[in-house]
Amino acid sequence: MDTIQAGQAGAGLAADRRNVPAYPDMQSNSARLYDRAVKVLPGGNSRHTVFFPPYPVYAVRGAGSRVWDADGVERTDFINNYSSLIHGHNHPAIVGAVVRQAKTLLSVSLPTEAEIRLAELVTERLPCVEQVRFCNSGSEGVLFAIKAARAYTGRSKIAMIEGAYHGSSETAVVSTGPGPDAWGDAANPNAVNGPGNGDSVTRDVVVLPLNDVENARRIIRAHAADLAGVVIDAMPSAIGFLPVAADFLTMIREELDACGGLLVFDEVYSLRLGFNGAQGALGVRVDITALGKIIGGGLPIGAVGGPAHIMSALFDPREAGGARLAHGGTFNANPMTMAAGAAAMELFDRAAFDRVSALGDRLRAGFTEALKISGKPGRVTGTASLCRLGHSDAPLASYRDLYQIRQDGKTPARTENFFRHMLNRGVLIGAPGLFILSTAMTEADIDATIEKALEGLRLI
Ligand SMILES: Cc1ncc(COP(=O)(O)O)c(C=O)c1O
pLDDT tens, residue by residue, 435-448: 999 999 999 999 99
Residue at 234: amino acid letter: A
pLDDT value for 319: 86
Three-state secondary structure call for residue 288? strand
Residue 410 lies in a domain: yes
- What is the best residue among 83, 161, 165 to mutate for testing ligand 1's pocket, by most ligand atoms within 8 Å of CB? 165
Domain with residue 305: its CATH number is 3.40.640.10
Largest CA distance in the chain: 70
**Does residue 8 surpass a pLDDT of 50?**
no
Three-state secondary structure call for residue 226? helix
Residue 449 lies in a domain: yes
Question: Tens digits of per-residue pLDDT, 29-44?
Answer: 999 999 999 999 999 9
Confidence of residue 21 (pLDDT cuts 50, 70, 90): low
132 and 256 inside one domain = yes
**Does residue 99 surpass a pLDDT of 80?**
yes
340 and 383 inside one domain = no
Question: Tens digits of per-residue pLDDT, 308-346?
Answer: 999 999 999 998 889 999 999 999 999 999 999 999 999
Q: Comparing C-alpha atoms, which of 356, 354, 347 is closest to residue 94? A: 347
Domain count across the chain: 2
As for ligand 1, residues whose beta carbon falls within 6 Å of it are 82, 137-139, 142, 165-167, 233, 237, 266, 268-269, 292, 302
**Ligand 1 centroid distance, CA of 438 (Å):** 18
HEC sequence for 291-306: EEHHHHCCCCCEEEEE
Residue 3 lies in a domain: no
Edge-to-edge strand ranges of the sheet holding 434-436: 379-381, 386-390, 434-436
Three-state secondary structure call for residue 231? strand
Q: Comparing C-alpha atoms, which of 96, 250, 264, 85 is closest to residue 164? A: 264
Q: Look at strands 386-390 and 379-381 and give their pairing.
A: antiparallel
Pick from 20-29, 220-229, 308-317, 420-429: least confident: 20-29
188 and 125 inside one domain = yes
The last residue of one of the domains, among 316, 347, 378, is 347
368 and 320 inside one domain = no
- The residues near 247 (Cβ < 8 Å, ≥ 6 apart) are 213
Q: Please give the number of the atom of ligand 1 that sits closest to the Cα of 237.
A: 16
236 and 333 inside one domain = yes
Contact 230, 208 (CB under 8 A): yes
Burial class for 198, CB neighbours closer than 10 Å (0-12, 13-18, 19+) = exposed
pLDDT value for 409: 85
Q: Please give the number of the atom of ligand 1 that sits closest to the Cα of 137.
A: 10
Note the Cα 33 to chain centre separation in Å: 27
134 and 216 inside one domain = yes
**Closest protein CA for atom 7 of ligand 1:** 138
298 and 357 inside one domain = no
DSSP sequence for 139-159: HHHHHHHHHHHHHHHT--EEE
Measured between alpha carbons, how far is 56 from 66 in angstroms, rounded to an integer? 17
**Ligand 1 centroid distance, CA of 269 (Å):** 7
Q: Comparing C-alpha atoms, which of 52, 45, 55, 63 is closest to residue 21? A: 55
Burial class for 361, CB neighbours closer than 10 Å (0-12, 13-18, 19+) = middle
Q: Which domain holds residue 68?
A: 11-86+349-459
Q: Comparing C-alpha atoms, which of 188, 193, 151 is closest to residue 173? A: 193
Three-state secondary structure call for residue 175? coil
Measured between alpha carbons, how far is 433 from 451 in angstroms, rounded to an integer? 15
Mean pLDDT of the chain: 95
pLDDT value for 14: 41
- What is the best residue among 47, 136, 239, 269 to mutate for testing ligand 1's pocket, by most ligand atoms within 8 Å of CB? 269
**Does residue 225 surpass a pLDDT of 70?**
yes
Residue 4 lies in a domain: no
Other Cβ atoms less than 10 A from the Cβ of 197: the count is 15
pLDDT value for 2: 30
Residue 42 lies in a domain: yes
Residue 111 lies in a domain: yes
Contact 133, 327 (CB under 8 A): yes
How large is the average pLDDT for residues 114-134?
98
33 and 102 inside one domain = no
Contact 287, 306 (CB under 8 A): yes
Domain with residue 392: its CATH number is 3.90.1150.10
289 and 438 inside one domain = no
pLDDT value for 10: 39
Residue 1 lies in a domain: no
DSSP 8-class letter at 334:
-
Other Cβ atoms less than 10 A from the Cβ of 285: the count is 13
Measured between alpha carbons, how far is 187 from 206 in angstroms, rounded to an integer? 12
The last residue of one of the domains, among 295, 315, 347, is 347
The last residue of one of the domains, among 302, 329, 347, is 347
Other Cβ atoms less than 10 A from the Cβ of 182: the count is 12
- What is the best residue among 50, 81, 166 to mutate for testing ligand 1's pocket, by most ligand atoms within 8 Å of CB? 166
Three-state secondary structure call for residue 352? helix
Question: Tens digits of per-residue pLDDT, 235-271?
Answer: 999 999 999 999 999 999 999 999 999 999 999 999 9
- The residues near 124 (Cβ < 8 Å, ≥ 6 apart) are none
Q: Comparing C-alpha atoms, which of 177, 172, 139 is closest to residue 158? A: 172
Q: Please give the number of the atom of ligand 1 that sits closest to the Cα of 233.
A: 1
Q: Comparing C-alpha atoms, which of 348, 318, 290 is closest to residue 134? A: 290
Residues β-bridged to residue 132: 305
Measured between alpha carbons, how far is 12 from 161 in angstroms, rounded to an integer? 42
68 and 102 inside one domain = no
253 and 387 inside one domain = no
193 and 281 inside one domain = yes
Q: Please give the number of the atom of ligand 1 that sits closest to the Cα of 83.
A: 14
